[in-house]
Amino acid sequence: MKQLEIDGMDGKDGTTVSRRSFVKGAAAACAGLATGGPALSALTPGTAHARGALAEGKWVSSCCVGCTSWCSKQVYVINGRAVKIRGNPHSKTNGISSCPRAHLALQQVYDPDRVKTPMKRTNPKKGRNEDPGFVPISWDEALDMLADKIMELRANDETHKFMLMRGRYTALRDLLYDRLPKIIGSPNNISHSSICAEAEKMRYFQEGQWAYMQYDIPNTRYVLIWGADPVVANRGVSSYLNSWGRALDNARIVSVEPRLTGTAGKCDEWLPVKPGYDGALASAMAHVVLVEGMWYKPFVGDFFDGQNRFIPGQKVDEDIFLEKHTHGLAKWWNLYLKDVTPEWAEPLCGISAEQIRRVAMGFAAAAPNCISWVGGGPAMQPRGTYGCLAANALNGLVGGCDNVGGVLAYNSRSYQGFPSPNDFMDEMAQTNSKKEKIDQRGRLEWPNLARGRSGAGVNANNVADAIINEDPNEIKVAMGYFNNFNFSCPGTGRWDQAMSKVDFFAHLTTHASEMSFYADIVLPVNHCMFEAWGTLDNSSNGYRSVSLMQPAIERLWDTKSMETEIPWLLAEKLAQRGFDNLLRYYQAVVDPETGKAPTNEKEFELYAIKHLTQHFWDPTQSKGGDKFLGWEQFVEVGVWNSDPYLHRARWSNMGTKTGKFEFYSETLKEALEKHAERHNTTVDHVLEVCNYLARGEMAFIPHYEEPYEWGDPGVYPFKFVDYKGRLNREGRSSNCSWYLQLKDLDLGDIAYDDVAKLNPIDGERLGIKTGDKIRLTTPTGSIVCTASLWEGTQPGTVAKCFGQGHWAYGRHAAKVFGKEALGANNNDIIPVDYDRLSGSTAFYGHIRLKVEKV
């Protein structure tokens, strides 16, 4: 770089240094730097006016936890203060790209309403209209209270009445989420996962991946997106924002979505499917691909003589179709596909047969470099498992599964696990931690088939009912961290009731949220992007990146790290009371470099993160990917990148029962049979109890299930479409002033408002204009918000973004803090229902409502 000679730019050692050369130097220090590093200008500085240099600061590496993208980031720090955010140029996934919501992290860490000290409630009554009367207390007092409560459970052999709830987290989670309840003696560690997108993971039953996927956008020829909005809110947003515009040159992109999303507005074709009918559309597309003979033969195989016998309405001889890397195609055809023509699907899904046929053929013509991107839309519905399987099956038909330009698994990465807790679990812990979990997973009506195992998946939203009904038992002491279930779970009133019932609740949070209002003590935590050690990872572009969070700025308040410091201090308190198992366990997490055991909470946090990430930074422990000289270099660079993806390595090695991509899922069959066996019944009875329509062999193949709806169409004529916006850091950005100022970045939305969007045809019919106050009523609740008439809304539907309607969280988020909400929370009206095979909470497809002018 040509050096500038500008006053005030002399570096400390007398050499001229600009921030730009600093960045380049830092980049050069890392071998294998991603392309797309700082694309700084080639301006001719010779012409510049020299008036002063930019403030000297440092880009400190971190990771964003604004959504599940978990992008590698860097924070620009000037004098201990965070000023800017960018993508970490060393990352091979998102690189320097940063989605817009990442910047709002600055407004979170410097939020004017952060909890700055531990506090306790002084009003013993708990309820929606009770002011907790919080007063500040010391950490000592707060943790004494919590420790006393836990010791009381231990004294009474009631440790299973302890519960720990987790919202977001870092990969240090096991220290708190897993080990603490186990060592105390509770089975109840409840993650939020089932209100996220667990039903998407039901692809496990076709391709053995209980996981989210990466999508090879730079190399694809066709993208068919189901109920996902990757340029707005999904996984990998920063990365896909970077590759999207170029993909439009190389590929055709089609969005299947009831409303015009950011992605639907930035693609080649929008298929406005009726909410809940994705399965019919996907099934008809599969039918077309087979009838036209366009399946990808190197992956799927062919009839023995190459002659296509898939004729609508006619069965084929299953023995003469010779499959390669798939299982059960002909059986799927015979059982179901032969009859599901585009003409059959048209009246169901609202997409014309001609369009179904054209899109299906276009998609298959791009085989195998094509993607059927299954988001939460078709999956997070009652009966959503089958919508997910129907849409994901298309990846099998066209060979896009695990292929270039297709749908890839995450590259592997190796965190070093923490020591086993077994030796630290006494008899009470061993016994009580094996009792039934509070979320009732595994019961007949809750198969929750994570990784094919009955009762293995979480059922977060059912916990409220379980607490209320004390079934399987009451909950006396609870902890919750980085979560706000009273806001983020459908059926919010149930959570208000449930949390009022819990005798003692400790909430670990940055903000006084709705859930905090039911807490007996509130423990203020560090913002994990800026103030604590941690790590998370993501995958795109055929790589996986593991990013390190670190204390980048000076902590503003008396806060502590949620997954390390607080549990350590609690363990010390328990040890003082004669129960030292947890502290002894934490002391077993030693510094990998010196072998030294931690003596305080800060050492514990540091040793824990070094232990967890040792395979990345310790060259002698490397399991592949980027190599570092040691811990310090890893901290400086802040991200480890995997080796590149090995395409097609999973072909015939899928992790399913047959090892193949299972159109007829032997894996699901086995899982359902085992669940039925456990309850001494039949698979058909399980399906009936769980509210699915499939019976017999239909249970094991992708198919359309009529959406289960709440509400009589006569009374509730509309269907509700919930979504997430560009600046949603899930439900946590509403107190950031940029969130409200820029709400109009979401299509059809209005700045400083919380609107429900109706098609102008419906607006005219109901006499509703943009700006009118309207009431949305479902069979389970009612909210008031502002109407916006917008052509991107499907007639007969109402679309509204999630995120506002906070009555707590801060001065900008709430209209009157603690009392009155600003805007309206969708979860107040979404009826509580589930896709029970996955345990997922339903957010789509089932919600009928009526709209009235207020």
Partner 1 sequence: MARYAMVIDMQLCTGCGGCIIGCMNENNLPEGMRWSGKIAETLGRYPLTRYHYRPTLCNHCENAPCVHGCPTKSLYKAEGGITAHDINKCIGCRYCMFNCPYEGVIYYNLRQPHAEWRNNTAVIPNSTSTPAETLRRTGARGWPIQNPDPDITYASIRPRGVVEKCTFCQHRVINGELPYCVEVCPSKARIFGDLDDPQSEVSRLLGMFPAERLREELGTRPRVYYIREFCPKPQPQPQAG
For residue 208, the Cα-to-chain-centroid distance in whole angstroms is 19
Stretch 9-28 residues interacting with partner 1 (CB under 8 A): 9, 18-20
Residue 509 carries which side chain, given as an amino acid letter? T
Residues 720-759, one symbol each (x = binds partner 1 by CB under 8 A, - = not), give: ------xx---------xx--xx-xx-xx----------x
Instruction: Tell me the closest approach of the beta carbon of residue 779 to partner 1, in angstroms.
Output: 27
Instruction: Tell me the closest approach of the beta carbon of residue 706 to partner 1, in angstroms.
Output: 21
Instruction: Tell me the closest approach of the beta carbon of residue 741 to partner 1, in angstroms.
Output: 6
* Nearest CB to partner 1, comparing residues 231 and 335: 231
Instruction: Tell me the closest approach of the beta carbon of residue 356 to partner 1, in angstroms.
Output: 10
Interface residue with partner 1, options 250, 308, 352, 587 (CB under 8 A): 352
Residue 424 DSSP label: G
Stretch 45-84 residues interacting with partner 1 (CB under 8 A): 45, 47-55, 78-79, 81-84
Instruction: Tell me the closest approach of the beta carbon of residue 15 to partner 1, in angstroms.
Output: 16
Instruction: Tell me the closest approach of the beta carbon of residue 71 to partner 1, in angstroms.
Output: 10
Interface residue with partner 1, options 62, 88, 93, 97 (CB under 8 A): 97
* Nearest CB to partner 1, comparing residues 551 and 792: 792
Is the Cα torsion angle 344, 346, 350, 356 positive or negative in sign?
Answer: positive
Q: Is 6 in the site for partner 1 (CB under 8 A)?
A: yes
By the 8 A CB rule, do 847 and 465 touch? no
Dist CA 270 CA 255 (whole Å) = 5
* Nearest CB to partner 1, comparing residues 245 and 630: 245
Dist CA 358 CA 367 (whole Å) = 15
DSSP-derived pairing of the beta strands 135-136 and 718-723: unpaired
Stretch 220-239 residues interacting with partner 1 (CB under 8 A): 231-232, 238
* Nearest CB to partner 1, comparing residues 99 and 146: 99
Q: Is 87 in the site for partner 1 (CB under 8 A)?
A: yes
* Nearest CB to partner 1, comparing residues 244 and 802: 244
Stretch 776-795 residues interacting with partner 1 (CB under 8 A): 790-795
For residue 140, the Cα-to-chain-centroid distance in whole angstroms is 35
Stretch 792-821 residues interacting with partner 1 (CB under 8 A): 792-795, 810-811, 817-818
Residues 104-143, one symbol each (x = binds partner 1 by CB under 8 A, - = not), give: x-xx--xxxxxxxx-x--------------xxx-------
Contacts of 133 (CB under 8 A, 6+ apart): 121, 122, 123
Instruction: Tell me the closest approach of the beta carbon of residue 811 to partner 1, in angstroms.
Output: 6
Closest residue by Cα to residue 674 from 475, 464, 447: 447
Stretch 142-171 residues interacting with partner 1 (CB under 8 A): none
- Binding segment (CB under 8 A) for partner 1, from list 94-102, 459-467, 650-658, 846-854: 94-102
Q: Is 312 in the site for partner 1 (CB under 8 A)?
A: no
* Adjacent-strand bridge partners of 822: 806
Dist CA 674 CA 431 (whole Å) = 25
* Nearest CB to partner 1, comparing residues 300 and 801: 801
Q: Is 250 in the site for partner 1 (CB under 8 A)?
A: no
By the 8 A CB rule, do 780 and 799 touch? no
By the 8 A CB rule, do 87 and 238 touch? yes
Long-range contacts of 72-76 (CB under 8 A, 24+ apart): 72/538, 72/545, 72/547, 72/638, 72/639, 73/98, 73/102, 73/529, 73/547, 74/638, 75/529, 75/530, 75/552, 75/553
Stretch 542-561 residues interacting with partner 1 (CB under 8 A): 556-557
Contacts of 458 (CB under 8 A, 6+ apart): 190, 191, 193, 194, 198, 439, 441, 448, 450, 839
* Nearest CB to partner 1, comparing residues 352 and 622: 352
Instruction: Tell me the closest approach of the beta carbon of residue 355 to partner 1, in angstroms.
Output: 5
What is the separation, in whole angstroms, between the first and last Cα of the chain?
63
* Nearest CB to partner 1, comparing residues 295 and 807: 807
Place of tokens 């959503």: 384
Instruction: Tell me the closest approach of the beta carbon of residue 243 to partner 1, in angstroms.
Output: 9
Token pair for residue 398? 């066209």
- Binding segment (CB under 8 A) for partner 1, from list 37-45, 470-478, 499-507, 535-543: 37-45
- Binding segment (CB under 8 A) for partner 1, from list 173-181, 304-312, 347-355, 451-459: 347-355
Q: Is 685 in the site for partner 1 (CB under 8 A)?
A: no
How many residues form the binding site for partner 1 (CB under 8 A)?
106
Strands (E), 482-566: 504-509, 521-524, 534-540, 543-549
Dist CA 834 CA 841 (whole Å) = 4
Stretch 368-407 residues interacting with partner 1 (CB under 8 A): none
Alpha helix segments (H runs only) across 156-236: 179-184, 204-207
User: How many other C-beta atoms are found inside a 10 Å radius of the C-beta of residue 665?
Assistant: 29
